[in-house]
Structure formats: structure tokens, C-alpha cells
Amino acid sequence: MIKFHRQFDPQEIKLLIFDLDGTLIDSRLDLIHSVNAMLRHLGRPELPGDVIASYVGDGAPMLVRRALDDPRDETLVKNGLDHFLAYYRVHKLDHTHLYDGIREMLALVRNHNGNPRKMAVLSNKPVNPSRAIVEALGLADLFLHIYGGNSFSTKKPDPKGAQTILRETKTRPDETLMIGDSSVDVITGRNANLWTCGVTYGFAPHTLCEAPPDVIVDSPQDLTDLLTL
């Protein structure tokens, strides 16, 4: 289903900025395993998968901090982050895969009346694993830019990453759609004056109520329908 909260013309969209986790890829299980490996390393009890998944979206440091119940001990947080990143670096593709229909959707929405749309990835996941995953899943050639949470001095929802992509692609905000599964992505888009699209099949659809996007879609097929009308 496609549900508009604020109407815009999809045919005017020339740049698509995608979130990664929960939007293009289902990385849930590898993130859960990596967080629990970190907790075991620190002698902490493991957490349920749904709890860990609810902590995803604001980057690895915040994921680790939340999993450790926001401790004041910064040495503990650093040790936890280091172990999480080391484990995830090795195991990031154990179970991670594209959501059904993503590959087909990207191919179709990129082709726009003979004038291909520009596409980029803007994630809060560190940039190296973000790029490695996109490349391993065979999508790298589709994106002009792949940026992560440590690509800039600030992360989403700060608009710096999105604004950089606009400059690099020479695209106006009103020609750009930010697509993601959480309020972080919607607020990022708002802060950069972009149109926003929320997907409900990802990690954090419940947060879209906190910051309603301009349009909501329930599946990659809906996104294809929206952008190929």
C-alpha cells in the first residue's frame, strides 16, 4: 500500500537517497549476534533479538551504548564498541541479505523515462562495512555514493551527509527523496528539505508515527509503483 501524508510528484524526483539497514538489507540477525558476542565478552547477559533490533539506527556507538544500558564508564563503552566492530567485521555477511524485491526495485526506479535517476546510500552504520556489504550483495554499481556514520563529522538526523550528496550530484532538495525505515531517516530528510518516504517492512516502522514521512510504502514493490507511475 502507498499512503501519502503530503503529496508530491514522484516523476519530478531525480535523486534517491536510501538508508541501508532495514531499508535495502535485512542485517538484523548479524547485528543481534554481534551485540550478544560483545555482551558475552564483557560478562554481560545476552539480550533478546527484538530488543537489540530496536536499538539499531543511530550508529554503532549508540547501539553498543544502549545494549550496555547507557553506562557512565566510557572505558567499558569503548571496549564494547571495539569488540562489537571486530566481531561484526568478520560476521557482517553471515546472514545479511537483500529484502525480497530490492534488486528488482532498484533497477526499475533507476530507469526514469530514459534519463536515469541518481542513487546514493546514507547509513549510520560505519562506512567500511556499509560499502563492503553493498559490494558483496552486488549493488555497488547502482550507487554514485555510499556513505556511513563515520563519513562526516555528524550522523543522521543531522543533514550534513544528505546535503553533501546534493552538492556532489548537483541536485535540488525538491528533486530528492530520502527513503528509510525509521524516524531518523525522516527527520534527516526534513532537516535537508527533502521529500521523505518511510518503509514499514524494516526494523523500526513504529518510529514513523513519531515523524510521519511524506509517503509510506509497505513493500519494495510499492516503492517501485510509486516511482514508476
Closest CA to 185 of 222, 213, 146: 213
What distance in Å separates the CA atoms of residue 25 and residue 18, rounded to the nearest whole number? Answer: 11
Chain centre distance of CA 204: 11
Calculate the alpha carbon distances from 217 to 87, 111, 133, 206, 208 in Å.
33, 20, 24, 13, 11
How far apart (Å, rounded) are the C-alpha atoms in residues 77 and 228? 45
Cell (9 digits) for 82: 571495539
Residue among 19, 26, 30, 181 flagged as catalytic: 19
Considering only CA atoms, give the Rg of the chain: 17
225 is known as an active-site residue: no
Task: Find the angle CA(65)-CA(165)-CA(134) to the nearest 5 degrees.
Answer: 60
* Concatenated DSSP letters of 168-218: HHT--GGGEEEEESSHHHHHHHHHTT-EEEEETTSS-GGGGGTS--SEEES
Contact 178, 147 (CB under 8 A): no
Q: For residues 67 and 38, is the Cβ–Cβ distance under 8 A?
A: yes
Q: Which residues are annotated as catalytic?
A: 19
